[in-house]
Amino acid sequence: MSTDVRLAVPLAVVEEILLNLPAQQVISVFRLVCHEWKELVDSAAHWRERCRREDLQPCDASRPPADWQMFYFLAKKRRNLLKNPRAEDEFNGWKIVHNGGDRWTIEDNYVEIPNKTVPKCFVTSYWLCMKQQLIDLKKEGYSPAFMDHLQPHIKISDWYAPRWDCGSQYEICLELLDQKKKVISSYKPEPVFFPQWNDEQWCEMTYVFKDYGRGVRFIRFTHGGKDTQFWAGWYGIRVSNSSVEICPAADR
């Protein structure tokens, strides 16, 4: 494209054209056309408008993202990286670490999780039951350069509940690992205990990794528990609707 043709097209028209093209193409191709187009593509206004048009907005409007381009791409890629989090596909995707008592099982969920439709849940037995997933960030589309440079927040969520007629214990361990699967950062809260004769309501555990440094290549998610009265069968803690998300920094 000649300089004369570029100058003949008002930048407002150019921006409208670019806003209707795929974002990755705009960065990899049209950003390189000239200095004016580069400034346009690099501007916060361009990415803020893309977010507005695609309804990608921060949870707290009073705290706009520091980097709208990063926010856009993170919001577009955001999804649950855990496979089979609601027990809808048996135990596919999960590695059983401990299978105590009468072993893990799956049951229909008869107590509603707040604001969610979750028909099934994983259920523990007496003695410890733990299961695990290892998430390969590169395979999920998050390159080493992306993780090291941007270090986006990593949000973990897990729902757990006891049976009303039996005491139980819930445990979780979250780990960020390097290429050799050595731990860079971890979160392992104290186990949660429920007494017998409780209201069996679902509880949510959430944690956000941030400022964790360079080198994160894998996320290891491990959770489970047991009943505390050693009853035969499946009276232990129930878990479901777990999630691991790479999220924009403005999202808390």
How do residues 197-221 score in pLDDT, each as one tens digit?
999 999 999 999 999 999 999 999 9
Do 170 and 160 meet the contact criterion of CB atoms below 8 Å apart?
yes
Average pLDDT, stretch 89-101?
98
What is 95-247's CATH number, 2.60.120.260, 3.40.50.1970, 3.10.20.90, 3.30.230.10? Answer: 2.60.120.260
Portions of the chain given CATH number 2.60.120.260: 95-247
pLDDT for position 2: 46
Which top CATH class is 3-77? mainly alpha
Q: How many CB atoms lie within 10 A of CB 222?
A: 18
Q: What is the DSSP string of 104-162?
A: -EEEE--SPPTT----EEEE--BS-EEEEEEEETTTTT--HHHHHHH--EEEEEEEEE-
d(CA 179, CA 108): 38
pLDDT for position 252: 45
Q: What is the pLDDT of residues 226-252, one digit of tens each?
A: 999 999 999 999 999 999 999 876 554
Portions of the chain given CATH number 1.20.1280.50: 3-77
Q: Is 78 a residue whose pLDDT tops 90?
A: no
d(CA 51, CA 228): 49
| pLDDT confidence bin for 122, thresholds 50/70/90 | very high
Q: Work out the mean pLDDT of the chain and round it to a whole number.
A: 91
d(CA 81, CA 135): 7
Q: Is 109 a residue whose pLDDT tops 50?
A: yes
Average pLDDT, stretch 69-74?
85
Q: Is 3 a residue whose pLDDT tops 50?
A: no
pLDDT for position 32: 85
- 242 SS3 class: strand
Question: Which tops the pLDDT comparison, 4 or 190?
Answer: 190
pTM of the model: 0.81
Average pLDDT, stretch 155-184?
98
pLDDT for position 7: 53
pLDDT for position 110: 93
